[in-house]
Each structure stands twice: as structure tokens, then as C-alpha cells.
A = this chain, B = another copy of it.
């Protein structure tokens, strides 16, 4: 693991997600650019001293020299945005598969460079767009792919949060600090941190691509250096239209990622904070609530493969991220064993990552030009 020292939020979530299914073991780490903190973290995690590294460079180089059955099998990168690409490139260069936090990189250029490297090495690259790993998101994708909704006409995707309603980055709140700092976060705070999840889930569920967008982007809180709110008009490659709303100043909202898709024949709705229910609506038909559960035979195989326990025992965010870790590690095993990986055990890829970076950049440019339409 690169990044994720004890005081980081997302690092411990990754570790829980990786541990959940009992098939992945944390074997080494460079948990901080501060060597002492890296060591302190590694010790707290009961790692042997020789596998706690002072820097990611050291870790990658030294692990690569270990015997194949000892060295790490893939790298997980959980650093802030500006520290995604360099470690990923180095890991790939030394033959390691990479699982990386989103957004993929600091800029489109970095992202594309990574894309080339992945292609050239032929190694696996995964991205933790966690929300698409929920079982009922798989179910939604499956229903649309099977034509249950007919031609898709309209997509409303929103991601309201309220936690940045006040300038808490000035008070030393660490999560807010790096996300609102252009040097660490890149072009964007809100669009990069959460808007890109909304973009990713909209394209994932529908199988469509955004072709054009018009974005009204704001820094609502005085003195904030990056955006904290965006309202975006979308157009998709099949002619469907949509809206994407992302906000970190929606006071009182926790993490309400929600998507609604309307087709010629039916509509569907999914809300991340109640992730085990998928609502399917149809004119003049009773509304259906489809529910996650390993025992629900009416669900698609795709959905069931991402449930661990019977319906009514809620699975949550950590389980969703664990689905990515499980799928990616299975893909690594398939790669090593040179067997075909089950395509239903999918995970976000380098292409999702590059697309996400282009989306962020396009939104920010449209925003600066007063919401002019821009091609994506």
C-alpha cells in the first residue's frame, strides 16, 4: 500500500475492504512521505519491519527484488491526487499490477501517460470508483443492458454533500485541506472528488457515453481556491440528455449519490445511502423494489456475485469497496494463471480513469467559459 497512514480516512477503509474476504493480505507499505509516520503505521498494522518502507520508490524497487512468492502481488495507491501517477508508473515499470484511488491523476496528460504505460506493460490497472461495485448498481446495469428500460432518454445523477459548507480547510481539517488545495487536488475539488463518481456511475449503468456538457461551476465559500459546487447539463451519445449535480455545500447532506435513468419503457432509481434497494418504475405498473441478497434468485447473476449474505442483512460501503478488491485480486490470479477472468467480476479500469480526468477538465473549462457547451 502506498499512502494511508494512520490519520488518513481512506487508507483504513481500503485496508478493511482488502481484508474482508480473507483472500488478500497486506504484506508491505510506504504509508507516508514522512518516513517516521510510515514506520509507525506499518508497526501498528503488525507488518514486519523489513516490509515497511520509507518511500514508495524504495518499496517498489525492493519488493521487485524479492522472490515471486514473497513479493507483493499488486500495489494499492491511496494517496492524494497529485501522488497517483508517479507511483503507479513506477510500479508498472517494475512489473506490478496497480489498484489506484480516483481520480486517476493530477491532469489529463498524466492520465494518458499512465494509459500508455498500462497498455505497453500489459499489466492490470484498477480504480476504486467504489459506488459502481454495489450489487444493485450491477443489477441496474444489467436491466438496462437487457433492454428492460428500452432506449434511454434521460439521466439525472446527483451527488450532494454538505461537509464543505464552511471554510473548514482554514481550520486545519486535513481531508478538506488537500482537497481544496490546487497543488494536491489539481484542477478541481468538488468535480474531481465526487462529480467524477457521478459521471462514472452514469456511464457505467447506462452503457452510454457523455458527448457534450455545459457546466455552471462555483466556489461558493468565500476564499476557497477550487470549486465546491457544479450544475451540469449533459448530452449522451445516443441522444439522451441529462443533468449532473455535484455539491459539497449542500448543507445537511451526507453523501447522497443518486441516479435516475428513464427509458422508453421504464425508469430506475438508486440511492447510495440506501444501497440495497433498486427502484424500478413503469407507467401504469406497480413500482418494483429489487433488493440485494445472495439468496435472491430473481436478481441477475451480476448482482448476486456481488452479495455476500442473504437479503435483509445490509451490506454497505466497505463491502462495495471489498468487491473491487476481490474482483481485482481474482483478475490478478487469472492473469498469473493465464486463465480467463470472469467478466462479471468487473472493476473500473484505466479507461474509466482517463475518461474521468477528461470529464473533470472539460467541466472546469466549460465552467470558466460561463457554461459553454464543450465536447467530451
Contacts and interface: CB of A to CB of B under 8 A. Distances in A.
A129 to B, nearest CB: 14
Q: Which of A249, A251, A370 has the most CB of B within 10 A?
A: A251
Given A243-B245, A252-B267, A314 B283 contact: no
A13 to B, nearest CB: 6
Nearest to A245: B243
A313 B315 CA distance: 11
A33 interface: no
Nearest to A163: B283
Contact of A233 (B216, B298, B311): B216
Interface stretch (A17-25, A67-75, A117-125, A331-339): A17-25
Using C-beta atoms within 8 Å of the partner chain, give the interface range for chain A. Answer: 35 or more
Contacts of A290: 286
Most buried by B among A235, A262, A267, A310: A262
Contact of A288 (B15, B20, B154, B286): B286
A254 interface: yes
B153 A249 contact: yes
B252 A282 contact: yes
Interface in A265-282: 265-267, 272-276, 280-282
B252 A162 contact: no
B267 A284 contact: no
A313 B309 contact: no
Contacts of A19: 19-22
A15 B263 CA distance: 36
Copies in the complex: 4
A370 B280 CA distance: 32
B231 A251 contact: no
Contacts of A247: 154, 262
A317 interface: yes
Contacts of A8: none
Contacts of A340: none
Contacts of A358: none
Nearest to A240: B220
B16 A20 contact: yes
B13 A309 contact: yes
A218 B318 CA distance: 39
Given A15-B22, A156-B245, A229-B241, A267 B255 contact: no
Contacts of A291: 254, 286-287
Nearest to A230: B241
Interface in A142-166: 149, 153-154, 156, 158, 160-163, 165
> What 3 pairs across the A-B complex have the smallest Cβ distances?
A252-B281, A255-B312, A254-B312
12 contacts: A156-B245, A251-B265, A251-B281, A252-B285, A285-B298, A286-B298, A288-B289, A314-B314, A315-B316, A315-B317, A318-B318, A371-B373
Interface of A: 9, 12-13, 15-16, 19-22, 26, 45-46, 149, 153-154, 156, 158, 160-163, 165, 214, 216, 218, 220, 229, 231, 233, 235, 241-243, 245, 247, 249-256, 260, 262-267, 272-276, 280-291, 293, 295-298, 308-319, 370-371, 373
